[in-house]
Amino acid sequence: MRQEERTKRAMLALADGRVFSGYAFGATGEAVGELVFNTAMTGYQEVLTDPSYCGQLVCMTYPEIGNVGVNEEDAESARIYVEGLIVKECWRMPSNWRARMSLDEYLKRNDVPGIEGIDTRALVLHIRKHGAQQGVLSSVDLDPQSLVAKARAAPSMVGCDLVSRVACRSAYDWEVGEWELGGGFKRPGPQEMRDRPRVVAVDYGIKRNILRCLTAVGFRVTVAPAGATAQEILAHRPDAIFLSNGPGDPAALPYARDTIAALLGKRPLFGICLGHQIIALALGGKTYKLDFGHHGTNHPVVDLKTGRVEITSQNHGFAADAGSLSGLAELSHVNLNDLTVEGLRGLGAPFFSVQYHPEASPGPHDANYLFRRFYRLTELFPRYGAQALEHLEAEQAAS
Amino acid sequence: MIGSGPITIGQACEFDYSGTQALKALKEEGLRVILLNSNPATIMTDPEFADRTYVEPLTAEVAAEIIARERPDALLPTLGGQTALNLAIELAENGTLERFDVELIGASLAAIKKAEDRDLFRRAMLKIGLDLPASAIARSVAEAERALESLGLPVIIRPSRTLGGTGGALAQDYGEFRGKLEWGLASSPSHEVLIEESIAGWKEFELEVMRDRADNVVVICSIENLDPMGVHTGDSITVAPAQTLTDKEYQLMRDAAQRIIREIGVDTGGSNIQFAIHPETGRMVVIEMNPRVSRSSALASKATGFPIAKIAARLAVGYRLDELSNDITRKTPACFEPTIDYVVTKLPRFAFEKFRGAADELGPQMKSVGEAMAIGRTFKESLQKALRSLEVDSFGFESACDKGLGAPARAALIERLKTPNSRRLYYVADALRMGISVEEVCAWTRIDAWFARAIAQILAAERALKADGPLGQDRLRELKAMGFSDRRIGDLTGAGEAAVAARRRELKIAPVFKTVDTCAAEFEAFTPYFYSTYEGEDESRPSSKRKIMILGGGPNRIGQGIEFDYCCVHASMTLREAGFETIMVNCNPETVSTDYDVSDRLYFEPLTFEDVSAIVDTERPEGVIVQFGGQTPLKLAAPLARAGVRILGTSPDAIDRAEDRERFNALVRALKLKQPRGTLARTPQEALAGAARIGYPVLIRPSYVLGGRAMEVLWEESGLKAYVAQALMASETRPLLVDRYLEGAIEVDVDAIADDERVVIGGMMEHVEPAGIHSGDSACVLPPRALDGALIAELARCTRMLARELGVVGLINVQYAIFHGEVYVLEVNPRASRTVPFVSKAIGVPLAKLAAQVMIGRKLADLGFAVERIPRHVSVKESVFPFSRFPGVDPLLGPEMKSTGEVMGIDESFASAYARAQTAALTPLPRAGTVFVSVRDADKPRLESLVRGLRAMGFRLGATDGTARFIRGLGIDCDAVRKVAQGSPHVVDLIRRGEVAMVVNTPEALGAADSASIRRTALELRVPYFTTIAGAQAAVEAIAELKRARFAVRALQDYHRACSQL
């Protein structure tokens, strides 16, 4: 029984001196990172494998984690990117027909430590009141003072290029579509692939489900590394360019900003999360760090054109500054909880971007239509060029 | 707005909760609201909640009358359960809504029909590409047989358009198929059943979904049933949120739910959608959708803090979700999906012990009468808290096998795992204790291994506890965090509850209170809605205001239901108005009292001494009110008082004097009042000797029970012998009460209120049925109709004396029998009684509110209630029974309470008020036809006026040999009808063929098969039947009234205005 396994102590220390004592699971060791909490009740495997969490310790607010184990299909990348996992209770025996491994084992294999048995709600309240900060999770050093000192010494995320740690090194093609219950992932045949428009997806830490969604709506996808120049990207002869999610501070990525600035207007562009922030920077806008970010699957976002509300999946610690963008782009989506910028569209340029995650995984599929919109934009671009977005919107309004 | 009518199985006080929320929301919008609901025990029918309140039968005729009179712009039917929805369909289809230009809001007729009509629903699901169990619709036996050929057995038979799954049943073989088919066809108002591929054993889930007119759709809560498919969701142990789905699987379900609510076309409001998932393949099928607020949405509201009904009402009048704010966070909108950081477990509460002959087996037909919900930071904690919340004398996973867990028990145990029953969770624990593996237990029960493992972990902790020595800090803290009660730990260690509590105090291990905030602490919460857990940080931040704590009634059960919640809510409302901070403690998710809006602070906690004490320690209230929540808080009065807690109102000692039979007898003797001769018996010998001394018939029951549990009238010694053989085992520590049964006496209930200056009668209710029928089951009339002034004065005098002697401060209820012109005291309850809401509505005075004020020292004279108020109109209360849920049970009334709910009829005369009450009680009286009469000899002398009355109104009479001879002997025509034993066509055939309009059948000796099958058949075919002459006599008067004039409706506010002018 698992109670007996709760024998090894672990400790979590925050830079401001708060310490939580609990039990270790996953790998034995120590992890340093920015402490964030995620409020999704499902999808811990997707969270763990989302490269955007690089450099972060994640606390799941839902207390029972590990119930359904892990499987091959639900990974958003090849490995765990979360530095350390914090939960109320970790289940070592999964129960789900797709489960292939326990969460505990998964963390061990990925050399990621976890802590359980702490008052996670107290931790969340602390972060909410005092903001995100650096923390250390350890099952090897159980001296609070030493851990707090390590947390204080850890560098802040601001100004730190984490993308270079997670992005691919060279370009590759992606050929897998969406997941289906009982059928696994759909794979379009080579014949079908050949005739499709090509999108180059710039990888700042891309989640697989974005690639699957792009494939599912009809794109032929080539993934390019984050450091690719505009010329390198255009050399793939793309019909459209997609900018992915990724970890950390967008302002620490001047190379990405410059690349995108050079591409704006040349091809239809769609950005998600970090990709959206990079577009904002490329336009000449600013980004800033939120107190404790948005990490969850229940954030209401309103589409300012239609008035419709989407329940969205979110994972970001930085945001685009609305004021800095006036005249540069049009605000298309707003977060109803705190009125932060959730989406932009081009003014006379064929691009749009969202701060949230229309690819979900984890989270609701409400915003999945954006991929179809991007595909249509790509279809309209050769004919309408800079006016393609306006035509697209006119088309949608008419239907 | 239409309410849901009387509390029945499948439709309980959750609709008072949702209706009350909706009324408040609509009133805040400045709308004029007209309410129709026949249930007087609801908060929603309090005259201040709607502009016009009609406590009238929920029939299309009555609704049309009200619509014609009030001319509403819109009808909102989605907050009153299936009853309201069905009534709305009728009003739409018969043209009433069109005639008076009334718009149906919340859900359109088309949407309701698409969701409710199984064939239309099925087609809609297929259209949007969703999977369903294979099935076929049948409107006849022949159609059903054809369907069976392709489906194969087993199948589930579900009648269309019923509530709570009435008539739904699993058929394993052909014999069962035929039997259940006929029953299913008979149960369906549209004489239609769905025959369905059995998906018993699949995982079951529910989503609570809301949609607004701008097509925004959100999921408020996911719920996973621990009991797999095959057990009605109302009878299932349910857990929120879903525990065993990955995000991919959950999102598929969410997508499906969105498509469903859009395709069905529920424009605004909430819907409940049920899904089943195959545990090995993940195949997902849609089970059903309720296009309205439901029991599950009440649970979801309490589980998440998101007030579904209130929001649904606002959406119905045109708001969008994003225009409404989340009450709890204030700053964020209601257009979001709550996320929770705890686990919620709901356990159903059953009443099988009340229905002799009913098998304790669960299936697609709902049988539970109530539920308890518990919140914990882990499933294990919430499950163990839920066990003790249920108040079935369980404080953890006690063994359910009294004969031990040896090898012989194994086969029996496995049988109990295979067939779902009310105690299955305990059998699961016993099986694991016996060494049966989790995998095997799951194979027998089809319960998901995740849940079974949690139970196994609890048991492992129990084992370790037994093996370990004294409890250290870490060990005890860990056990508490797993949800163990002090009592359970004390039982396991042998140290006892008090020692464990003391050890905890010594080690400073106390619970902390966390907030239910809809958002897992992401935003600041402004609503003090708490649950306890054993963790680091406490969020309760008690105020330093003057405060009073009110203990609620816990899960509904027969004998303790909505009436007590009503009183608790009134106490809270009035004390808040008086400037106190009120703290509500309760664990029943269906109730108004557990709405976080009702009290200043809400603790969703089990009502045990341990749990309540912890809240008292944190909040330090000035006093605690125990007299409003029924027996549950009353039982806590003495231990709380011993622990130094101030009990407001009547003292715990006075409560004990009334409850303890020996002390009570002494009290009655001292006051020189009469009571039926009686004795206490601690052994079978004492009982038999006592009965012989007193003389038969005797009324026998265990002491300290509510709702007359195990109470019986016994006519001779053999019956008593059989009774004591079972009963004494059940309650060794409590003696049996043996009293003379006053045959044919008139029973009277008196509710009164007392301060330290005076005792004022609230209402006197004369029972229609004679003494011997439990007061909660008897119809009653206020003011009394057969008592003369002298008797009434005597009843008032006795009540005053009793209240004074007991030092009652607050409410008191006394039950009397009038026998040969003399007043006998049967029972005194120095607390709020079941009849308080009815009396309050009848006289237009909120008795529970006044009582709460008296308890904080106000005087009745200052409160404007110094003298009794006797209305000119007549109010009749009638009870509603759940017999149709328990196949094979004789629907006979007796001293043990069996009703689940009540209705009220008000009018100028008894006959008319009684007719209304009967109509409201869902058995409308006939105006013509044949009345079948069969009465026992003892009742024959009183038969004459009854049958003459029936003949005079043109009814034909039918009777079996003896009764027929007797009637003809009176010179009255009567058809001879054959007994069942005499072969077809016999009386039951006639009832089945619809040739009997009403049945009067008083029982011979209990268990006479013929008589039972007559009553049972009448019940199933909804033929009104009366099992007492008095009830039938009242019905005859009512029928005369029905034939004379049709109902004219009158609002409660008008009655009360007339009352206040007295």
Query: Cβ of A363 under 8 Å from any chain B Cβ?
Result: yes
Cα-to-chain-centroid distance, residue B561: 5
Which one, of B41, B84, B44, B78, lies nearest residue B60 by Cα? B84
Range of the domain at A119: 7-153
Greatest alpha-carbon pair distance for chain B in Å reads 85
CB contact A3 to B (< 8 Å): yes
Rg (CA), chain B: 28
Residue A337: list chain B partners with CB under 8 A.
331-333, 336, 523
| DSSP states along B405-474 | SSTTHHHHHHHHHHS--TTHHHHHHHHHHTT--HHHHHHHH---HHHHHHHHHHHHHHHHHHHS-SPPHH
Predicted confidence band of residue B158 (pLDDT cuts 50, 70, 90): confident
Q: What six digits make up the tokens of B556?
A: 């509904």
- And the tokens for B91? 């009003």
Residues B1012-1055 have pLDDT tens digits of: 888 888 888 889 999 889 899 999 999 999 898 878 899 999 99
Shared domain check, A385 and A250: yes
Q: Which residues pair with B955 in a beta bridge?
A: none
Q: What is the pLDDT of residues B85-134, one digit of tens each?
A: 999 999 999 999 999 999 999 999 999 999 988 789 999 999 999 999 98
Q: How far is B660 from chain A (nearest CA, A)?
A: 46
Task: Report the predicted TM-score, pTM, of the whole model to 2 decimal places.
Answer: 0.95
| Interface-testing mutation among A11, A21, A65, A67, with chain B (most B C-beta atoms within 10 A) | A67
Q: Which residue in A46, A213, A273, A299 is the catalytic one?
A: A273
Residues A190 and A112 in one domain: no
Tens place of pLDDT per residue across chain A (399 aa): 344 468 899 999 999 999 999 999 999 999 999 999 999 999 999 999 999 999 999 999 999 999 999 999 999 999 999 999 999 999 999 999 999 999 999 999 999 999 999 999 999 999 999 999 999 999 999 999 999 999 999 999 899 999 999 999 999 999 999 999 888 999 999 898 989 999 999 999 999 999 999 999 999 999 999 999 999 999 999 999 999 999 999 999 999 999 999 999 999 999 999 999 999 999 999 999 999 999 999 999 999 999 999 999 999 999 999 999 999 999 999 999 999 999 999 998 999 999 999 999 999 999 999 999 999 999 999 999 999 999 999 999 888
Structure confidence at residue A3 (pLDDT): 43
Rounded CA separation B296/B216 (Å): 21
Compute, in degrees rounded to 10, the torsion defined by CA atoms B584, B585, B589, B592: -20
Q: Is B41 on the interface with A (CB under 8 A)?
A: no
What is the pairing mode between strands B547-551 and B581-586? Answer: parallel
Rounded Cα distance, B81 and B66, in Å: 20
Rounded Cα–Cα distance for residues B345 and B372 (Å): 8
Query: Does residue A286 fall inside a structural domain?
Result: yes
Q: How much is the CA Rg of chain A, to the nearest whole Å?
A: 21
Q: What is the pLDDT of residue B1006?
A: 47
Residue A145 sits in the same domain as residue A189: no
Q: Is A369 on the interface with B (CB under 8 A)?
A: no
Chain B stretch 215-254, residues whose beta carbon is closer than 8 A to a beta carbon of chain A: 215-216, 218, 222, 241-252, 254
Q: Is pLDDT above 60 for B753?
A: yes
- Residue located via tokens 């009403």: B998
Q: Do A118 and B448 touch (CB under 8 A)?
A: no
- Pair A107, A238 in one domain: no
Q: Is A102 on the interface with B (CB under 8 A)?
A: no
Answer whether A8 touches B (CB < 8 Å). no
The tokens describing A360, both together, are 């979900």
Domain harbouring A291, CATH code: 3.40.50.880
Tell whether B255 is within 8 A of chain A (Cβ): yes
Over the stretch A65-87, which tens digit does the pLDDT of each residue have? 999 999 999 999 999 999 999 99
* Cβ neighbours of B69 (radius 10 Å): 16
- Look up the CATH number of the domain holding residue A101: 3.50.30.20
Alpha-carbon distances of B826 from B59, B707, B763, B835, rounded to whole Å: 37, 14, 17, 16
Residues 6+ apart with CB under 8 A from B330: B526
Residue A121 domain-assigned (yes or no): yes
Cβ proximity of B520 and A124 under 8 Å? yes
DSSP conformational letter for B978? B
Interchain proximity A298–B338, CB inside 8 Å: yes
User: Residue B448: its chain A contacts at CB < 8 A?
Assistant: 95
Q: Do A112 and A232 reside in the same domain of the chain?
A: no
A357 and A390 inside one domain: yes
What is the pLDDT confidence band of residue B700, given thresholds at 50, 70 and 90?
Answer: confident
Sequence-distant (≥ 6) Cβ neighbours of residue B806 within 8 angstroms: B650, B654, B657, B658, B667, B812, B828, B830
| A155 CB-near residues (< 8 Å, 6+ apart) | A134
The answer to the question of residue A1 being in a domain is: no
Residue B564 identity (one-letter amino acid) = F
Q: Is the pLDDT of residue B469 over 80?
A: no
Sheet holding B1025-1026, edge to edge: B975-976, B956-959, B930-934, B998-1001, B1025-1026
Q: Are residues A190 and A105 in the same domain?
A: no
> A311 at the B interface (CB within 8 A)?
yes
Q: Name which of B241, B332, B460 is nearest A337 (Cβ-Cβ).
A: B332
Higher pLDDT, B71 or B688: B71
- List, for residues B598-654, the tens digit of each pLDDT value: 999 999 999 999 999 999 999 999 999 999 999 999 999 999 999 999 999 999 999
* pLDDT tens string B731-752: 556 678 898 999 889 999 999 9
Do A176 and A126 have their domain in common?
no
Q: How many CA atoms lie within 13 A of B150 on its CB side?
A: 11
CB B404, CB B431: distance < 8 Å: no
Asked if the Cβ–Cβ distance from B339 to A298 is below 8 Å, we say yes
On whether any CB of chain A is under 8 Å from the CB of B732, the answer is: no
A77 lies in the same domain as A206 = no
Distance between CA atoms of residues A28 and A30, nearest Å: 7
CA distances to A271, B297, B396, B479, B482 from B458, rounded to whole Å, are 49, 30, 9, 9, 7
A50 belongs to a structural domain: yes
C-alpha B298/C-alpha B19 separation (Å) is 11
Q: Which two tokens stand for residue B757?
A: 């200056």
Backbone angles phi, psi at B908, to 5 degrees: -75, -30
SS (H, E, C) B62-125: HHHHHHHHHCCCEECCCCCHHHHHHHHHHHHHCCHHHHCCCEECCCCHHHHHHHHCHHHHHHHH
Give contacts of A 38-67 with B, CB under 8 A.
39-43, 45-46, 61-64, 67
- Nearest neighbour of B245 by CB, restricted to A3, A42, A93: A42
Same domain, A393 and A274: yes
A-B CB pairs within 8 A amount to 179
Most A CBs within 10 A among B285, B450, B522, hence the mutation to make, goes to B522
Count of C-beta atoms within a 10 Å radius of residue A333? 26
Give the separation between CA B21 and CA B67, rounded to whole angstroms: 22
**For A47, what's the count of Cα atoms within 13 Å in the CB-facing half-sphere?**
33
A-chain residues near B523 (CB < 8 A): 128, 337
The answer to whether residue A2 is domain-embedded is no
Q: Which of A153, A188, A207 is the last residue of a domain?
A: A153
Can you tell me the distance from the alpha carbon of B511 to that of B987, in angstroms, rounded to the nearest whole number?
63
Q: Between A64, A91, A128, which is nearest B343 by CB?
A: A64
Who contacts A77 (Cβ-Cβ below 8 Å, separation ≥6)? A49, A50, A51, A166, A206, A207, A208
Give me the percent of chain B exceeding a pLDDT of 90.
Answer: 77
Structure letter (DSSP) for residue B757: S
Please state the domain count of chain A.
2
Cβ neighbours of A45 in B, within 8 Å: 246-247
Could you report how far apart the first and last alpha carbons of chain B are, in Å?
31
> B294 pLDDT band (50/70/90 cuts)?
very high
User: Residues A369, A336: one domain?
Assistant: yes
- B364 pLDDT band, cuts 50/70/90, is confident
Looking at the complex, does the CB of residue B460 fall below 8 Å from at least one CB of chain A?
Answer: yes
Bridge-based pairing state of the strands B103-104 and B74-75: parallel
Question: Where a domain ends, among A101, A120, A153?
Answer: A153
Residue B863's identity, in one-letter code, is L
Is the Cβ pair A89, B378 closer than 8 Å? yes
Both A240 and A352 in one domain: the answer is: yes
Nearest to B712 by CA among B737, B731, B748: B737
* Interval B864-910: pLDDT, tens: 999 999 999 999 999 999 998 888 888 888 888 999 999 999 999 99
pLDDT at B730: 45
**Are the Cβ atoms of B244 and A95 closer than 8 angstroms?**
yes
Residues in A closer than 8 angstroms to B202, CB to CB, are none
Mutate: best of A37, A39, A45, A92, partner B, most B CBs <10 A:
A39
Yes or no, beta carbons of B457 and A2 under 8 Å apart: yes
CA-to-CA separations, B3 to B37, B440, B528, in angstroms, rounded:
5, 46, 29
Higher pLDDT, B396 or A2: B396
CA distance B782 to chain A (A): 54
Which of A123, A153, A183 is the last residue before a domain boundary? A153
Buried b (16+ CB within 10 A) or exposed e, B709-728: bbbbbbbeeebbeebbeebb
* Contact by Cβ (8 Å): B931, B956: yes
Cis bond upstream, residue B511 (ω within 30): no
* CB distance B151 to B134 below 8 Å: yes
Interface test with B, best of A314, A337, A338, A339 (most B CBs within 10 A): A337
B11-70: per-residue pLDDT in tens?
A: 999 999 999 999 999 999 999 999 999 999 999 999 999 999 999 999 999 999 999 999
Q: Is B456 an interface residue toward A (CB < 8 Å)?
A: yes
Q: Which residue from A63, A73, A91 is facing B341, i.e. has the nearest CB?
A: A63
User: Could you tell me if B450 lies within 8 Å of chain A, comparing CB atoms?
Assistant: yes
Looking from the CA of B952 toward its CB, the CA atoms found within 13 Å total 11
Q: Which residue of A has its CA nearest to B240?
A: A41
Question: Is A210 within the bounds of a domain?
Answer: yes
Q: Report the alpha-carbon distance of residue A39 to residue A62 in Å, rounded.
A: 7
Report which of B905, B763, B753, B765 is spatially closest to residue B844, judged by C-alpha positions. B763
Of B371, B343, B528, the closest CA to residue B450 belongs to B343
Among this protein's residues, is A30 annotated catalytic?
Answer: no
Residue A277 within a domain: yes
Answer for the pair B650, B810: CB distance below 8 angstroms, yes or no: yes
Write out the two tokens for B512. 């902390």
Catalytic residue status for A359: yes
* Closest to B652 measured CA to CA, from B626, B675, B631, B677: B626
Asked if the structure places residue A78 within a domain, the reply is yes
* Residue A217: both structure tokens together: 């709506």
The whole-angstrom separation of Cα A223 and Cα A212 is 12
DSSP string, B491-540: HHHSS-HHHHHHHHHHTT---EEEE--SBTTSS---S-EEEEESSS----
Length of chain B: 1062
Task: Report the pLDDT value the prediction gives residue A1, as an integer from 0 to 100.
Answer: 38
Tokens read off for B816: 């009397």
Least reliable range by pLDDT among A389-393, B196-200, B420-424, B948-952: B196-200
Judge contact between B665 and B678, C-beta under 8 A: yes
3-state secondary structure B471-500: CCHHHHHHHHHCCCCHHHHHHHHCCCHHHH
A276 is catalytic: no
